[in-house]
Chains A and B, each alone.
Chain A
């Protein structure tokens, strides 16, 4: 509890003043005398040497060399940084002690046998990591061809000084469970001691020998000159440059993706319908043979389009589309499944293949509104495929008018597939719904959990901190030098958690040491230490101790 003697009440108005610690020292409480501190910041900081006399708090970059000096014999004078002793030796007419600051807060204590002691707090200054902004490429990109050159640009900045900056790239190749990676750097920059730099380079895709499906991950990285606790490393956001695969079907989160195949099918089918409608209109005015020939040409295009649709469906089923369509009369032999190998692929067979590829043990692996995503996308495509088949037969038979209805059905189905495509983007992995009722507590092994341990209270230390503050104030009235030491220790203890209180304590320590009135600063510190004061204008309707 802070109980200031009336004799110390300088203002005479009830406010309490604290005497200067220096005054107490002058009374001969310590024989240590003034302690001079020379602070030599590390080279990376680029700061000048500082000299301080009797400092209470020293802020220094990690790696700073601190030299403490004073009058009197070295013999019997001791110095400690936290719990570690530091050598004290004779120097001229006095003593000297040197050490290097670390990256953590520390308390330095210098004391002499039969004399006094001096306490100072060391607080590390933070060397921020460089800030890196990637200017180019400005966004992720998908390229159709793995060639060309991409301009790279980044801005880098550091609070003290940059050591180097570079573009880093990683090329990932492969799919599924098999990936290979290559990495490298570009455009290394050594800006010396500068704080800002512009990094420029160009990336030749040809030189990377990229293959479809490969992804280039790009970012800029900068390092500062901190050779003590660093170097601090800053990096930009990453950009990806992806080479589209032939069966590319993901268009999520990319801006320059090739047009989705469904869209191309949509255009083609509409074009074929236009051609067929025109042929039907002309059919009365031209010879039958010409109509038949034209109709078969359209039929071949319809067949090609049907093959594309088939590729889309198979690529989704994991076949990759490489096997192509297994349609009637194409002359290829395929063996992806018995069903496919057995002969011409009917829509029903395709549908069964789709289901088979996506169902395990008879239960669907993923559902969305009672339908798997694969089926939801593929069903209209299969309908389109089916209708195209019918249209193709009619066209092959020279009957364009009969081909039009199934062609319309195919167009509508493709449009539905396009809508479904928007629902089931690449970003949605299969959702498996677990039958909880079926499996609940079917496990045979019982658990036997260990006991829980409590969490640490966040504010428990507050009452203790206030008690320490009160004790320091008591100490101030009895022995100002010791009181200041207590405040220095307290300041160090709360520096991280209660920065406002630490700042107020710092002001109070300075005021006491300079023999100024520290009352206001101590009051501010007291309030800041009691951070959570709550004031209201209503009496609680409920509560209270019993």
Chain B
């Protein structure tokens, strides 16, 4: 049995422990910031929001973040703020190497399509094979796996904010601009090709001015040319036209104006018969090449353009892009000329596609010509929404994460189970509480055993 003195010593010790524990608890509750060299590891993106509020109250010296999905914009900004306040933040991706691919995240943008449809082109990029769902505020738009190209492109009418992503990464975007589309001028001799090009563009929603040459100094005109029957058209400039379609050699009297128009930034589509206009040669992206023999009977097939004769386009300029290739021959070549664009086509009688093609041929012909014009059209942007909308979107969360925190650390095996900052915090509370209760119990028991109150 311990002596009375020993008991008193024990009781004082127990009380001291309890008081120390109480003090520790009080310290934990109202403690000053942690020491600058404290290092905390957060494992899992889901734990991040809770940690961030904790770490704001009790700053840590270093944070090692292991993510299994891309943190949202709010968390990223918070982490960036922590890093700015002095916390050394590092991060790496969790999981097996094979699974880390889709943690490079989804990025998505929406920009206006240059045609009168009012649609937007949504481009989502991400790791090949990753599942991707695209939706806007009116519901789901597309669901697919990202192809080997790493991209998914959607032309659609967009309602509100567009969301794209899979299980581990979600990106959002919204169109910010619209395009200013001015009319298209069609220059042609009176004939089926000019008629049906103008018809296709008008039906697709383009505003079209035309000048169909019928006889010397006689033309059928429409648009700002008005009743002007003169051989030249004044005012072919980007203030008036988005693009000009030069169907045939009737464009020759306007060649100088067309060259000037392109150098200003305008778009020019040069039809097969217009490619012989000498004055246009300096701005053509390629040269007229060998004649192409049309494939009989192909007009109603799924490759109706094979049925059209014309020429192959040869010797493309170094900066030219082949937009349309058929059977090994370039049939549509585009290039920038100054700040403008020129598209050269090598097809004869595309109107036959509309008249003789299979089911849906008129719509295909319409879309094709609309796309040809759109590919060169001068279309300045105009802001669509207030800037606040842009603040709501998160177009490239992975890139934003790298921007906020730097590159991820190289993959490395974990040096043991990381202790969560929250868990360690709780453990300290529990230990101090146990010490407090234990100390008080020990003192109380000792005093009861010696008969004291």
Contact = CB atoms under 8 A, between A and B. Distances in A.
Given A470-B138, A527-B139, A459 B204 contact: yes
A541 B149 contact: no
B137 interface: yes
Nearest to B207: A454
A446 interface: yes
A443 to B, nearest CB: 9
B395 to A, nearest CB: 16
Nearest to B366: A458
Interface string A504-542: 000000000000000100110011001011111111111
Contact of A538 (B138, B149, B229): B149
B205 A466 contact: no
B202 interface: yes
Nearest to B183: A454
Nearest to A538: B149
B159 A537 contact: no
Contact of B138 (A451, A453, A458, A523): A523
Interface string B346-381: 000000000000000000001000000011001111
B252 interface: no
Contacts of B207: 454
A3 interface: yes
A463 B117 contact: yes
Contacts of B418: none
Nearest to B145: A537
B326 interface: no
Given A526-B138, A535-B153, A460 B215 contact: no
Interface in A490-514: none
Interface in A200-247: none
Given A533-B141, A544-B111, A455 B381 contact: no
A532 B138 CA distance: 16
Interface residues of B, number: 62
Nearest to A3: B137
Interface string B193-233: 00000110011110110101011101111100011010000
A536 B153 contact: yes
Contact of A543 (B156, B216, B218, B374): B374
B323 A457 contact: no
Contacts of B310: none
B140 A1 contact: no
Nearest to B136: A526
B274 to A, nearest CB: 20
Contacts of A138: none
Contacts of A307: none
A447 B138 contact: no
Contacts of B118: 462-463
B256 interface: no
Interface in B118-155: 118-119, 123, 137-142, 144, 146-147, 149, 151-155
Contacts of A522: 138-139
Contacts of A453: 222
B104 interface: no
Interface in A72-92: none
B268 interface: no
B116 interface: yes
A458 B364 CA distance: 13
A350 to B, nearest CB: 43
A2 interface: yes
Contact of B140 (A447, A460, A523): A523
Interface in A455-489: 455-460, 462-463, 466, 469-470, 473
Given A455-B199, A545-B379, A441 B208 contact: no
B137 A460 contact: no
Contacts of B258: none
Contacts of A534: 154-156
Contacts of B374: 543
Nearest to A453: B222
A460 B116 contact: yes
A3 B366 CA distance: 35
B396 interface: no
Interface string B178-190: 0100000000000
A289 interface: no
A447 B203 contact: no
Nearest to B336: A542
B59 interface: no
Given A449-B214, A452-B222, A538 B157 contact: no
A349 B188 CA distance: 53
B159 A470 contact: yes
Most chain B C-beta atoms within 10 Å of own C-beta, residue among A454, A519, A539: A454
Nearest to B220: A449
B105 interface: no
Interface of B: 111-112, 114, 116-119, 123, 137-142, 144, 146-147, 149, 151-157, 159-160, 177, 179, 198-199, 202-205, 207-208, 210, 212, 214-216, 218-222, 226-227, 229, 265, 321, 323, 334, 339, 366, 374-375, 378-381
13 contacts: A2-B138, A452-B222, A453-B222, A454-B202, A458-B366, A530-B156, A534-B154, A535-B142, A535-B153, A539-B123, A539-B149, A543-B375, A545-B177
Given A449-B214, A449-B219, A536-B152, 12 more contacts: A2-B137, A2-B159, A449-B220, A452-B210, A457-B204, A466-B159, A523-B138, A527-B139, A534-B156, A535-B152, A537-B147, A546-B339
Those 6 A-B pairs whose CB atoms lie nearest each other, nearest first: A523-B139, A537-B147, A452-B222, A455-B202, A457-B205, A463-B118
